Amino acid sequence: MTARQSTGVQGLDELLGGGLLPGTLTVISGATGIGKTQLGLQFAAAGQAQEGQRGIIFDMSSRGDGQNHADYARRMFDWPLQIADPARTPPLDQFFAELPRLGNYLRVFDYQGKRVTRGDLDFEGWQDWQSELARKLTAAIAFFYGNFLHGVRRAVIDGVEPVGRASDSIQFDLFEYVYHQILRKDPEWVARDLFRERFRENAGRIAAATYDNRQVGCLLLYTSAEVMLEELAARPLEEGDVLSNANTVIYLGKVRDGNRLRRALYVAKHRGSACTDEFVPYTIDDRGLRIG
């Protein structure tokens, strides 16, 4: 039986029957400032003890106000994130080096102050987004493939902003590509997409250095418009929605406690084991989320 991956959050693994199932998608949804990024970093950092490698962070946020991943990682775990260059694809030999310089944090967009919905951009702006996305796909493939090749088994994808329809967001387009065409695709075919005309001459080398993508866990951090946990819990999962396709969905939100608001989480879905229907209070300190 495949070992579950720890979330890195005290008390949450027990709520999930031992943790998250590798090879599946987990969505963490909640409003800005509720603790999603801290939870994502806790999951990534827990890979050091469990798999011998911390996870990687793929940041799709588009506006100038970043998610402060580097500050959180340094403060919570004394973990200096290594920034990958979205405009540069490492040379082929570097993927097979013992100590590759691939980075563990990649932010693909840098359109300060702009949103990524069709309604917020004119036709020319939307075309610019599409062009930028196409240019950076190769860097994204290299980032994931190279890290998985060297033992990373956790990917945190952050920065998805709320939109009325998923089809209006280039971030959802990018996530769908990354998840289905990189994370869940056979590594040989990922290598074909990355190395292209150089694949055939390096096919033996690539086959000898493969990885098992069924062991890779993925956490998607999704910013919701809703702030209150009751509103999130009542949200319907529409067919084709990223939430409906996830193995595990966890909502983070505010609940009323007398005349105060407190943070709590709700496990809306977790295929693989029974879980509580309760709203579970949590706190945030300098080490991240804490339950109990």
Residue range 167-179: mean pLDDT, rounded: 80
Between CA 196 and CA 263 the distance in angstroms is 48
Q: Is 85 helix (H, G, I), strand (E, B) or coil?
A: coil
Query: pLDDT grade, residue 60 (50/70/90)?
Result: confident
Q: What is the architecture of the domain spanning 12-290? A: 3-Layer(aba) Sandwich (3.40)
pLDDT digits (tens, 9 = 90+) for 197-214: 999 999 999 999 999 999
| Amino acid making up residue 20 | L
Residue-level pLDDT at 245: 85
Higher pLDDT: 27 or 127? It is 27
Residue-level pLDDT at 117: 60
pLDDT digits (tens, 9 = 90+) for 140-166: 999 999 999 999 999 999 988 776 665
Residue-level pLDDT at 240: 57
Beta strands in the chain (DSSP E): 25-30, 56-59, 105-107, 154-160, 217-223, 248-257, 260-270, 280-281, 283-285, 288-290
Query: pLDDT grade, residue 63 (50/70/90)?
Result: low
| Amino acid making up residue 46 | A
Q: What are the sequence ranges of the domains in the chain?
A: 12-290
pLDDT exceeds cutoff 70 at 249 = yes
Residue range 79-99: mean pLDDT, rounded: 87
